[in-house]
Each structure stands twice: as structure tokens, then as C-alpha cells.
Chains A and B, each alone.
Chain A
Amino acid sequence: MSFLKRREFPLAVTAFVGFLMLFEYYFVVKAASDLAIQIRNWAVILATFALGVGTINLMVVWGKDIRGKKGRWYLSIWGIFMFFAMVVTGLLGPVIGTDPSFVWIYNNVNLALDPTMYALNAFFITSATYRAFRTRSKEAAVLLLAGCLVMLRNAPIGLVLWSGFEPVGSWIMNVPNTAGFRAIMIGGAIGLVATGLRTLLGRERGYLAGGK
């Protein structure tokens, strides 16, 4: 059974499954299509299991902090408590994830903290635009000008200051912005296809992580 430890077998699985997805897309063969549908559904189930791997890793890290009494280790105990509070309330009732206590915790904890963590960026953007956003070069000036015109289009006050901000901002979004992101999209998609081919051909092995 030690031969199963070799990397060639999972690489072969990746290649088979990946090329099956491509074959099924371009050729109408019922047997291939049926097999592809089955494997895709299994992959969704496997991806669902993968949600739990990060949890285990974090519990291991927090467990080490608690055992070693590192830093504010008692807060890790609180974090683990919150985790189990969500899991226990979530599993209550006939329909998982709909118990009022689970929804209550979500509405008053997650819905308060998640946007707040991201809202901190609003302060950092304000500070950064004031202290660091400088027109040091022509490119920076173009970036700044485009950004300012888009902001004046997005904010209703722009219309009060000058009615031209709407068409100018709209033009920026529909022409240079579209052109720039189209180029990025095409380049990125070509990169995705190239990396995908390398993965299917076994040249990209990062996901195998470690071992022989």
C-alpha cells in the first residue's frame, strides 16, 4: 500500500478528472457527461468537508497557546467557547442553522464585528490618502485624477458641484477602466488556462504539499 503514498497517483486522479471536465464541455458524450456530473457533485461534498480543515488547524494553534499560556491565552479559551456556542445552537432544532438562538448570535455578533473589521479600512484610507497619496509622477497623477472623478460621480454632491461629473465619471468607467480591466481579465484568463494545464499535466504540485 506504500505505493499509494507516491505523488503520481493523486496527480493521475487530478489529470483524469480535469480532462474529463474539459472533454464533457466540448463533446456531447452521455457516458462522459453522466460521470462528470457525478464527480462534480462529489467534489462539492469534498469541498464542504474541506471547510472544517481550517477549523481544526486553528483549534490546534489556540490549544497550543492555552497549554503554553502564551500571550492572552485566556482569550483563546473564549474563542473556543464562541465556536462551540455557534455549533451547539446551530445544531439545535429540526432544521440545522435556523434555530432562533443561532440566528440571534449571528445577527448580534457576526453582523456587528465583520463589517466593523472592514470599516477600519475607511479610517486607514482617509489617513493614507492624506499622508501618502502624492502626485510624484505622471502615472500617479492619472491614477489620482481618475480616482477623484469617479468619487465625484459616485457621490451625489458631485452633481451639485458640476453636472459634468456624471458623464465624465461614466466615461472613465466605460472606456479606460473597461479597457484596463479587460486587458487584466484577458491576461489573467490566459494565465489561468496556462496554470490549469500545468496542474492537469502534473507540473504544478503545490496542492500535494510535502512528502515524496
Chain B
Amino acid sequence: MIDLSEKGFLGRLADVDKRILYVVLVVMLSIPILSPLGLPLTLGKETKDTYDTIGRVPEGSTVLFLAEIAAYLFPELGPQVIAISQHCFNRNLKVVYVSFRQVEGPTILESLVLSKLDFRGAKYGEGYVDLGYFAGLEVSMAAFASDIYALVKEDYRKNSLDKLPIMKNLKTAKDFQLLVIIGVADEPVRQFGRFGIPTVVGTYAVVAPEVYPFYAAGQVKGILVGIRGAAEYELLVKKPGLAVASMDAISVSHVLVLVLIVIGNVGYLYERRRKK
């Protein structure tokens, strides 16, 4: 019979010092990081739809890529940007990177993303360009969407737009054949949705549930959800990286959280019955 007295086993279990939990968490996560488990990864429909949408864009088309990466988002969004960008270059698509939300986006792009890509012969200024960051969020998105040259005078590397062949036929958002949104989707969909450009979203897991209404309505054709979506996409483009390497630890962390929820609730329910 389990001891349900005042400080019985289950009662004490519910009172464990949180610092012990922290140590348990770190130790449990370290194990799969140091010694990967190799758990299988399935392909979600949202990820497959993202891949297929990019796959349907004709070669030579131009992609508007909102690379809204910040330092605290890099573990989730960095691998997404790398994987989707690689897919675009594999398909000989031209990519115009820009940022309207994250002031750090262009810096992270230049120092941590572009160096990891195989451009398949595409040259800067012809096959891809980094236009930099523009403050104002929806204001700058609306400004960009209606007249690119009125807003943007130079790219992030201080090249004048008229010296960049990739920008030659791009006057408004209508001139793009694909929109890739990395990060929060609300404002970009509000500002670019009316142009009817096929849109895919790669977002961090916290806001991913909020993108599903756009996905269900067809405003967004595919979603990459956090590190899981990034890992699936890395496998699709055959470029396994940071995301795939993290999935075993994700499994362990989730099992730990679930076990703690169960233990916590079992203890709680027993205490409640005991008090009755």
C-alpha cells in the first residue's frame, strides 16, 4: 500500500527542489547530444506541401525571402533558412533576401547562412541579393510591396540597385513568383497576401499554431514548424545539419516533460482523494 500520509512518497515527490529538476534536464539532454539515438523522422504534410510548392515554381523565377532571423531564433529558424535557400538554389531560383522585423536578420544571413550554401553557380547580384533590414514592420512591408525602388536605394553591401541585374525587373511585390516567410506570418500575409503570390512559411514553434488558419485557408501553401520542420526539410533537400542533429534531444526533452506531467498529476490526484 502506498504511504499517503502528510509527507508520503508522492507528497514528497511533488515538492522536489526545482534545481534538481534543472540538473536532471541538463543531464538527460546531454546524453543524446553526445551519443545520438538515431530515432526515425517522418515527413509531415505541412513540410511536404512546402517542398512541393517550391518544387512547382518555374526555374529562373524570383523568390522574395523574408529572412526574419534573430539570435534567439537562430536555433529554430537558421536551419529552416539554410534548407529552404538550398532548395531554391538547387532549383535555379533567384532569391531576394530582405528583413522587416528582425534588425539582426541581414547580419545573421551574411555571417552564418550564406557561407553554408551551395549556390550552384549563382553569383551575388545576379542569382541572389541581400537588401538588408527596413524598420517599421508593416509600414516597410507596405512600402516595399508597392514600390521597391522608392524604398530601397542600396543593398546591404552598399551596391546601388541599378547595378544589380537580379533587381532589374522587380518593381513591386507582384513581380515575385514565390514568397518565403520566415518567422511570424501575420503581418506579411496582411501586406503581401493581396498579390496572390504562392507563399510558404517557416516559423518558430511558439507561433506555428497561429499560422494554421492561413494554411487551412490556402493563403499559405506550406509550413515548417520549428526545429522539427527544419529537420524534415534538411532530409528532403539531402542536407542534414543542425536540425536533424537536435531531434534526438527533442525526443528526450519531450519524454521528460511528459513524465513530469504524469508524475505531478498522479501525485495531485492522490492528494485530492486522500483529502476527501
Q: Which residues of A contact B (CB under 8 A)?
A: 21, 33, 36-38, 40-41, 43-44, 47-48, 50-51, 94-95, 97-98, 103, 106-107, 110-111, 113-115, 117-118, 122-123, 125-127, 129-131, 133-135, 144, 148, 151-152, 154-160, 166, 170, 173-174, 177-178, 181-182, 184-185
The answer to whether A114 and B257 have CB atoms under 8 Å apart is no
Interface centre among B74, B112, B146, B257, by most chain A C-beta atoms within 10 angstroms, is B257
**Tally of B interface residues using CB under 8 Å:** 69
B205 interface residue per 8 A CB criterion: yes
From A48, A130, A155, A181, give the contact of B255 (CB < 8 A).
A155
For A131, the chain B residues whose CB sits under 8 A away are 14, 18, 264
The answer to whether B158 and A94 have CB atoms under 8 Å apart is yes
0 or 1 for each of B7-49: is its CB under 8 Å from A? (1 = yes): 0000000101010011001000000000000011110110000
B175 interface residue per 8 A CB criterion: no
Q: Which residues of B contact A (CB under 8 A)?
A: 14, 16, 18, 21-22, 25, 39-42, 44-45, 70-72, 74-75, 103-104, 106-108, 110-112, 134-137, 139-140, 142-143, 146-147, 150-151, 156-158, 186, 205, 209-210, 212-213, 215-216, 225-226, 228, 247-248, 250-258, 260-261, 263-265, 268-269
For B248, the chain A residues whose CB sits under 8 A away are 156
From B210, B260, B269, give the contact of A126 (CB < 8 A).
B260
From B45, B71, B157, B210, give the contact of A95 (CB < 8 A).
B157
Q: Closest CB-CB distance, B207 to chain A, in whole Å? A: 10
The answer to whether A159 and B40 have CB atoms under 8 Å apart is yes
The answer to whether B209 and A133 have CB atoms under 8 Å apart is no
The 8 closest A-B pairs by CB, nearest first: A114-B71, A47-B136, A157-B251, A155-B254, A130-B260, A156-B39, A182-B213, A47-B135
**What residue in chain A is nearest B225 (Cβ atoms)?**
A154
Main secondary structure of the interface of B (DSSP, over half): helix
The answer to whether A130 and B251 have CB atoms under 8 Å apart is no
Bound form: Cα–Cα A154–B210 in Å: 16
**What residue in chain B is nearest A95 (Cβ atoms)?**
B158
The answer to whether A44 and B111 have CB atoms under 8 Å apart is no
From A44, A127, A134, A157, give the contact of B135 (CB < 8 A).
A44
Q: Closest CB-CB distance, B100 to chain A, in whole Å? A: 9
From A40, A113, A125, A173, give the contact of B257 (CB < 8 A).
A125
Bound form: Cα–Cα A41–B147 in Å: 9
Q: Closest CB-CB distance, A16 to chain B, in whole Å? A: 16
The answer to whether B261 and A40 have CB atoms under 8 Å apart is no
Main secondary structure of the interface of A (DSSP, over half): helix
From A44, A51, A148, give the contact of B143 (CB < 8 A).
A44
Q: Closest CB-CB distance, A163 to chain B, in whole Å? A: 9
The answer to whether A166 and B42 have CB atoms under 8 Å apart is yes
**What residue in chain B is nearest A133 (Cβ atoms)?**
B261
16 CB-based A-B contacts, threshold 8 Å: A106-B111, A117-B72, A122-B25, A126-B25, A126-B257, A127-B18, A129-B257, A131-B264, A133-B265, A148-B261, A155-B253, A155-B254, A156-B42, A156-B251, A170-B45, A178-B212
Bound form: Cα–Cα A33–B146 in Å: 9
From A37, A43, A118, A170, give the contact of B72 (CB < 8 A).
A118
For B45, the chain A residues whose CB sits under 8 A away are 170
The answer to whether B25 and A123 have CB atoms under 8 Å apart is yes
The answer to whether B264 and A41 have CB atoms under 8 Å apart is no
Bound form: Cα–Cα A33–B172 in Å: 13
For B107, the chain A residues whose CB sits under 8 A away are 97, 103, 106
Q: Closest CB-CB distance, B66 to chain A, in whole Å? A: 15
The answer to whether B263 and A155 have CB atoms under 8 Å apart is no
**What residue in chain B is nearest A156 (Cβ atoms)?**
B39
The answer to whether A156 and B260 have CB atoms under 8 Å apart is no
From B41, B104, B143, give the contact of A156 (CB < 8 A).
B41
The answer to whether B40 and A40 have CB atoms under 8 Å apart is no
The answer to whether B254 and A157 have CB atoms under 8 Å apart is yes
Interface centre among A43, A135, A155, by most chain B C-beta atoms within 10 angstroms, is A155
